[in-house]
Amino acid sequence: MKTPDTPPMVTTYSMWNQFRNCRKAAELRYLQHLVPLERDRHLHFGSLIHECLELWHGQRDLARVLDLIDRRCTARAQDEDQKRDWHLATAMMRAYAERYAEEEFEVFALEQVFEGPIVNPATGAASRSFRLAGKVDGIVRTGEEYFILEHKTASQIDSDYLERLWTDFQITLYAHYVEQTLGIPITGILYNVLVKARLQQSRGETEEEFEARRADLLAKSKTGRTTARRREPESDQDFQRRLAEKYADPAMFHRERLYLSREQFDILRAELWELTQAFLDARRRGVFYQNTSFCFNYQRPCPYFALCRSNGNPNVIENFYQRAEPNEELRVLPAGSSEPAF
């Protein structure tokens, strides 16, 4: 319960987006502070590339970027997922450094954090319950114009993907707050999209698999002979070479510049204010209902699906979740930095 002395709750776009999609999930994450015990593997690659890009745009030193990838994937000799991430990130960043050896913009800030009030658009009064904080990947300057730099990794870039950038509520909102809190006039967003190659390193075939394939070929052969040889596993060098060829394709990187209108800011401010009122109402009444349409968004279960299905069984909370402070994304550490040893 909020008292007059309670400081406003610092919120992020992620919280409001989750609240909009499923109130129950927002309550579990932002009021109960629950997160799944197991780390989501899908997020590892995106985080790694963001860190690489921050380092690259800050220092433009490819050797340091590659060293960072090596350090983030130290278990790649035993861990297949890490090995896959290492190969992809190495090839992607090598090609990126070559492709954008010269930039048309000047980096003004990287990993810029902001925090500001959430304002009632009707009265201009700031919310006493919430503030909004966030972090942008970068702010860049082209001539006299400033753009928010937003990195994205994508499986493919098609017309739907590019059209969807216009509906990016988060970045438009961030642009507004960067203007308001840092006093930097933002002209638009520069989306920096990197495509994830779908190539897989060939594992080769086992003796049994080879024998089975050879037997098949012999059965079909009119001469009763075959020149088939056992396929050897693809070496790291060969796979890197294949990835490099793939990343030589200009379509693997894309820059899209979107210009923002002031009307967009007004719509977003009004929507954000509405969300704050709905959240206050839900918190006051203690009712955060599930949106079951979002249980399998992105073709995989929501991180809280097991908990909702068990009707909040504490055994599920204790064995599959842990408590972690919200808004972890606001934590600022320079790219490539390691945790202190002591």
What is the spatial distance between Cα 270 and Cα 275, in angstroms, rounded to a whole number?
Answer: 9
Q: Which residues neighbour 74 within 8 Å (Cβ) at sequence distance 6 or greater?
A: 82
* Least Å from the CB of residue 75 to another protein: 8
Q: Indicate which single residue of 310, 333, 334, 337 sits in contact with another protein (rule: CB under 8 A).
A: 310
> Locate tokens 């994830």: which residue?
196
Q: Indicate which single residue of 277, 292, 313, 337 sits in contact with another protein (rule: CB under 8 A).
A: 313
* Least Å from the CB of residue 319 to another protein: 5
> Locate tokens 């925090």: which residue?
115
Nearer to another protein, 39 or 285 (CB): 39
Q: Give yes or no for residue 322 binding another protein (CB under 8 A).
A: yes
Q: Give yes or no for residue 154 binding another protein (CB under 8 A).
A: no
* Least Å from the CB of residue 271 to another protein: 31
Q: Indicate which single residue of 107, 113, 244, 316 sits in contact with another protein (rule: CB under 8 A).
A: 316
What is the spatial distance between Cα 136 and Cα 148, in angstroms, rounded to a whole number?
Answer: 7
Nearer to another protein, 229 or 323 (CB): 323
Q: Give yes or no for residue 318 binding another protein (CB under 8 A).
A: yes
* Least Å from the CB of residue 7 to another protein: 22
Q: Is 87 helix (H, G, I), strand (E, B) or coil?
A: helix
Judged by CB under 8 A, how many residues of this single chain contact another protein? 24
Nearer to another protein, 266 or 318 (CB): 318
Nearer to another protein, 118 or 307 (CB): 307
Looking only at the bridges linking them, the beta strands covering 126-142 and 9-11 are parallel
Q: Indicate which single residue of 182, 278, 306, 330 sits in contact with another protein (rule: CB under 8 A).
A: 306
Q: Give yes or no for residue 80 binding another protein (CB under 8 A).
A: no
Could you tell me if 10 and 286 are in contact, meaning their C-beta atoms sit under 8 angstroms apart?
no
DSSP-derived secondary structure letter, 196: P
Q: Give yes or no for residue 324 binding another protein (CB under 8 A).
A: yes
Could you tell me if 95 and 247 are in contact, meaning their C-beta atoms sit under 8 angstroms apart?
yes
What is the spatial distance between Cα 189 and Cα 266, in angstroms, rounded to a whole number?
Answer: 17
Could you tell me if 116 and 110 are in contact, meaning their C-beta atoms sit under 8 angstroms apart?
no
Residue 73, number of CB atoms within 10 A of its CB? 21
Nearer to another protein, 41 or 255 (CB): 41
Nearer to another protein, 34 or 189 (CB): 34
Q: Indicate which single residue of 15, 25, 34, 149 sits in contact with another protein (rule: CB under 8 A).
A: 34
What is the spatial distance between Cα 278 and Cα 320, in angstroms, rounded to a whole number?
Answer: 29
Please state the φ and ψ torsions of residue 341, each to the nearest 5 degrees. -75, -25
- Mark the segment that binds another protein (CB under 8 A) among 139-147, 175-183, 271-279, 316-324: 316-324
DSSP-derived secondary structure letter, 148: E
Pair of tokens at residue 172? 């438009």
Beta-bridged to residue 131, according to DSSP, are 10, 117
Q: Give yes or no for residue 41 binding another protein (CB under 8 A).
A: yes
Nearer to another protein, 28 or 132 (CB): 28
Q: Note the residues at the interface with another protein (CB under 8 A).
A: 34-35, 37-39, 41, 306-307, 309-311, 313-325
